[in-house]
Amino acid sequence: MTLTQLKQRSLLGLKELSQEEIESILDRAAYWENHETKVHHTLQGKFAANMFFENSTRTRFSFEVAEKRLGAEVLNFSAAVSSVQKGESVYDTVRTLESMGIDVGIIRLKPIGVLAELATKIKVPLINAGDGNNEHPTQALLDMYTMRKHFGQLKGLTVSIVGDVLHSRVARSNLWALQKFGVKVNFCSPPNMQASELDVSYVSMDEALKSDVVMMLRVQLERHESGMLSSAESYREHYGLTVERASKLAKHAIIMHPAPINRNVEIDDELVEHPQSRIFPQMENGVPIRMAVVERALS
């Protein structure tokens, strides 16, 4: 296989992916979602390795369910119980699994840039499961899928992404992908959590509440420098989706959040499973999206 073909099968981010390619992934996910049989033989005899160098619950299990539903053999690697603890590098770890014959690697990493470099050295297709605060393509795909399912189409929607944009790969992947579809994307965040390098308008919380989609982000304390968050109460007061604020949403609007959730900080407890919330459906949609992405990598 040529390097170009390999690159086409990898999924490192949505910034470089065309609208047509994104659409074909969403369509294929719809095919899998509507397929009643749970386990297929599509990827029988193929080995998928989930390599998580950073913690994960939803993304890791969702990939594993997707791979198993496609009939693949699944290997799970978690940095906490591997030789990474002995100082083995990311490259050596991935190269080790490659030499054992895996057919696709799903990778989550803390530092930005390592994945792009790995992709030039590793021969099997790689799928980004979140790299630093850069991109999280499968999360944005499942978010777009959830929006498309609710509204019928993406074009013309207004999506406000609220919260800790600075540390969010979810915000970046959504921004870059949604703009390709003619979606108006706004950000709303405290001044010290804004990402100045991104070409996007920042709006007030009142303005954000007028959107078709209000996507709340987790306050990502593990990525903060000390003192970024004065208190959870004051964050909720200024940037939280409270029950009172949610009552101002249009009837057709939906609430989203990639999770994990800090309940009663960025979103009130009562709103997580509110009729307008799509938080658990987002997780549900993650499986067919990842089936489409893994299948694409191995087809």
- Give whichever of 74 and 259 is closer to ligand NCD, judged by the CB atom: 259
- Give whichever of 62 and 93 is closer to ligand NCD, judged by the CB atom: 62
State the number of binding residues for ligand NCD (CB under 6 A).
Answer: 11
Q: Identify residues 120-139 at the interface with ligand NCD (CB under 6 A).
A: 130, 136, 139
10 Å CB burial of residue 171 (0-12, 13-18, 19+) is: buried
Residue 169 near ligand NCD by CB under 6 A: yes
- Give whichever of 70 and 267 is closer to ligand NCD, judged by the CB atom: 267
d(CA 209, CA 246): 8
- Give whichever of 54 and 73 is closer to ligand NCD, judged by the CB atom: 54
d(CA 77, CA 67): 15
Contact 106, 129 (CB under 8 A): yes
In sequence order, the β-bridge partners of residue 217 are: none
- Give whichever of 105 and 163 is closer to ligand NCD, judged by the CB atom: 163
Ligand-binding site membership of 218 (annotated) = yes
Q: Identify residues 199-228 at the interface with ligand NCD (CB under 6 A).
A: 218, 220
Q: What is the DSSP letter of 182?
A: T
Site string for ligand NCD, 70-109 (x = CB under 6 A): ----------------------------------------
Ligand-binding site membership of 236 (annotated) = no
Inter-residue long-range contacts of 56-60, CB under 8 Å, 24+ positions, other chains counted: 56/108, 56/129, 56/130, 57/260, 58/258, 58/259, 58/260, 58/283, 58/286, 59/108, 59/129, 59/130, 59/136, 59/138, 59/139, 59/286, 60/108, 60/129
Residue 13 near ligand NCD by CB under 6 A: no
Q: 226: Cβ–Cβ under 8 A, 6 or more apart, which residues? A: none
Q: Identify residues 252-281 at the interface with ligand NCD (CB under 6 A).
A: 258-259
* Residue ranges in contact with ligand NCD by CB under 6 A: 58-59, 130, 136, 139, 169-170, 218, 220, 258-259
Annotated binding site for L-aspartate: 86, 169, 218
